[in-house]
Structure 1
């Protein structure tokens, strides 16, 4: 049997690199693999559908599905996740010492519906009592260069949102004091994002959480949630013609992740030898996967995001997470 020749675009991160560089292959598939920044990748997929297989914004996939867009079938491979609210930035002259102080402030965001911003608003509301309607939002991406441009985004009722003019950037507004804070800031330049300067280079800008690690640990202990950002998708027409692709892809991504974690046991054993961890926890650390794939291990996270999209006015009705995924993967 001749292998399928398919295009695939992934973001550059350790768990996907073995697929991008060819160390791991998908059985029955010859891949033309491309590494892209997620901002550009998701826009190109949502607007032009350029790739057969790709990572995708989980929030944009869900919003599109709520509107009847069924171009993509997901595989429960979750390539990036982090505590996004710990990335919030604030000017040191804006009177913002805690998340509660964001009320009434001018806050920048690359894209209102991006998954990172959704999760940050979940934490603001659930943990600190700050609602999206309490802030004045400024969005950098224009409709024609945004994920929301492909999913008919409009500011939810009660949300004060202004588009940053195309000749200005979020970085410039933060530097000038025209913005007080950023829920998410991307200093990279690609076909979608334009600030092009690091947060560290912007005067008077500092992390809202002085100890981001401690806040992440606190949040995980309080909620049990390590937020999921990206998921892998297959073009629906391709999946319907070749349904075996879903499980073959899942197996390849799992193998790629295993390559990343392969050196971990030796590293952990070294920690025990030097006294950095107690020898009694070596077995537990070795056998723990902090970023599991599959639906069962992530059901609570997927359910919370699904509900958050309703709470934040980004979908009219809740999207059942299982409806996003290939049926053959539901038991994973």
Structure 2
């Protein structure tokens, strides 16, 4: 029997690069892999279901599951994660010196329900006491080009939200002073996002936190959370016929991460030889996995996101996050 032919969509990032290059493949699968920007990929999957395997917005998948939609099954592979609230940008002229100063301000977002925005609002509320209802929201993606268009998105109760007109975008509105801040800013070209200027190239715009790295370290030390926003999914109907696909794909993704990290770990050696990096520190770095896959290591992070979705009025009910994942992966 020949290999199973599948279509795959993955973003172009270090964790997936070995798959795009063909260096890593999944056993028993002959896959055709496309590199697609996440914003576009998630919209295409949610609206058209174009690929057998892809990355997916964890928030949108959870929202759909809360509505009884189970078209996709997740595999505990988390290709991108970061401290999203540290990337909030503000106009200097808006007088925003701290998160508390966001209250009453006009805030742009590509998509209200996108995972990065959910994590950012969660941090603003739980770390700084700033609630979503205290901001005025402007969303760039129209319903027909949004993830929420496939999950019946409507502004949660108490949230004031308007759609940005099609002839402008978050970046332009920041530039001319029609917005005071953006909780998520995307300027990479794709079919659903319209902003084009990098935030750093917009005059009078800076990050909310003077030292985003320091804020990320503080947040992690306090909460233990390194937020996840992308998860890998497989078409549910495919897994019903071929349940072995889940673990084969997981193994391939795990190997791709190992290959991606290999050069970084090898690069430590010269500093060890010169005595600039203590051997015990190098050993700790090699032993650590800062971006772990698997549910066991990420349960608290995943559960926190599920709770935020209910708290922010985006999910109809609290979803048991384990129900989203392939049964064969639950012990990983």
Same fold (TM over 0.5): yes
Please tell me whether the aligned partners of residues 39 and 192 of structure 2 are also in contact (alpha carbons under 8 angstroms). Answer: yes
Q: In 1, distance between residues paired with 2:307 and 2:274?
A: 45
Deviation at 1:276, TM superposition (A): 4.3
1:13 corresponds to: 13
Please tell me whether the aligned partners of residues 268 and 286 of structure 1 are also in contact (alpha carbons under 8 angstroms). Answer: no
Q: In 1, distance between residues paired with 2:279 and 2:210?
A: 32
Task: Give structure 2 stretches of 5+ with no counterpart.
Answer: none
Number of residue pairs aligned between Structure 1 and Structure 2: 332
Q: In 2, distance between residues paired with 1:36 and 1:78?
A: 16
Say if 1:88 and 1:242 are closer, same or farther in 2 by CA, change over 3 A: same
1:116 corresponds to: 116
Deviation at 1:279, TM superposition (A): 2.5
Deviation at 1:116, TM superposition (A): 0.3
Q: How does 1:1-332 map to 2 (within 5 A)?
A: 1-332=1-332
CA RMSD of aligned residues (A): 1.0
Mean alpha-carbon deviation: is it higher for 233-242 or for 271-280? 271-280
Q: In 1, distance between residues paired with 2:250 and 2:276?
A: 35
Please tell me whether the aligned partners of residues 37 and 190 of structure 2 are also in contact (alpha carbons under 8 angstroms). Answer: yes
Q: In 1, distance between residues paired with 2:209 and 2:276?
A: 26
Please tell me whether the aligned partners of residues 63 and 316 of structure 2 are also in contact (alpha carbons under 8 angstroms). Answer: no
Instruction: Output one character per residue of 1:269-293: Cα deviation in whole Å (capped at 9) or x when no partner.
Output: 3333345433322211111000000
Q: In 2, distance between residues paired with 1:79 and 1:276?
A: 31
Deviation at 1:267, TM superposition (A): 2.0
Q: In 2, distance between residues paired with 1:87 and 1:270?
A: 33
Q: In 2, distance between residues paired with 1:267 and 1:188?
A: 30
Please tell me whether the aligned partners of residues 254 and 293 of structure 1 are also in contact (alpha carbons under 8 angstroms). Answer: yes
Determine helix, strand or coil for the equivalent of 2:190: coil
Please tell me whether the aligned partners of residues 268 and 285 of structure 1 are also in contact (alpha carbons under 8 angstroms). Answer: no
Deviation at 1:145, TM superposition (A): 0.3
Mean alpha-carbon deviation: is it higher for 188-197 or for 250-259? 188-197
Mean alpha-carbon deviation: is it higher for 193-202 or for 65-74? 193-202
Deviation at 1:188, TM superposition (A): 1.8
Q: In 2, distance between residues paired with 1:183 and 1:220?
A: 19
Determine helix, strand or coil for the equivalent of 2:297: helix
Please tell me whether the aligned partners of residues 5 and 30 of structure 1 are also in contact (alpha carbons under 8 angstroms). Answer: yes
Determine helix, strand or coil for the equivalent of 1:234: strand
Please tell me whether the aligned partners of residues 58 and 230 of structure 1 are also in contact (alpha carbons under 8 angstroms). Answer: yes
Q: In 2, distance between residues paired with 1:199 and 1:40?
A: 20
Q: In 1, distance between residues paired with 2:324 and 2:155?
A: 24
Determine helix, strand or coil for the equivalent of 1:313: coil
